[in-house]
Amino acid sequence: MIKAMGQETFPKRLAVDCLWLRRTLDTKRTEDPFLMLCTHIVRDGHDCIGPFLENIETSCQLWEPNERLASQRAKADKQSAPASETNTTST
Ligand code: SF4
């Protein structure tokens, strides 16, 4: 996660966390059988532009968070929301 001063906390845009990424194997490719395919309508069936390096964000403008990351974001947003006011007055 990135946290800049005065800004909200948000996870990095890693290609591995993209909603449109489909990881599969092609056993015909003996040297590198691992495929990272894009399923976005614009790039459908082409290789994902990546990169798939730890903590290096993608520059892909089509990137969207996958379900797992979206869930993490929702939890983080919920935790960072201001606490609701509680009635502490006594008589
Ligand atoms: S090319 Fe872009 S939209 Fe497609 S899987 Fe990779 S990051 Fe996602």
* Pocket of ligand 1 contains residue 20 by CB under 6 Å: yes
Going by pLDDT thresholds of 50, 70 and 90, the confidence category of residue 68 is very high
- What pLDDT sits at residue 80? 84
24 vs 81 pLDDT, higher one: 24
Q: CA–CA separation, 60 vs 47, rounded Å?
A: 12
Predicted confidence (pLDDT) at residue 79 exceeds the cutoff of 70: yes
Which atom in ligand 1 lies closest to the alpha carbon of residue 37? 5
For the record, the structure tokens of 26 come out as 């092609």
Q: CA–CA separation, 50 vs 44, rounded Å?
A: 14
Q: What is the pTM of this model?
A: 0.76
Compute, in angstroms, the gap from residue 81 CA to the centroid of ligand 1: 30
- What pLDDT sits at residue 34? 94
Output the CA torsion 78→81→82→88 (10° steps): -10
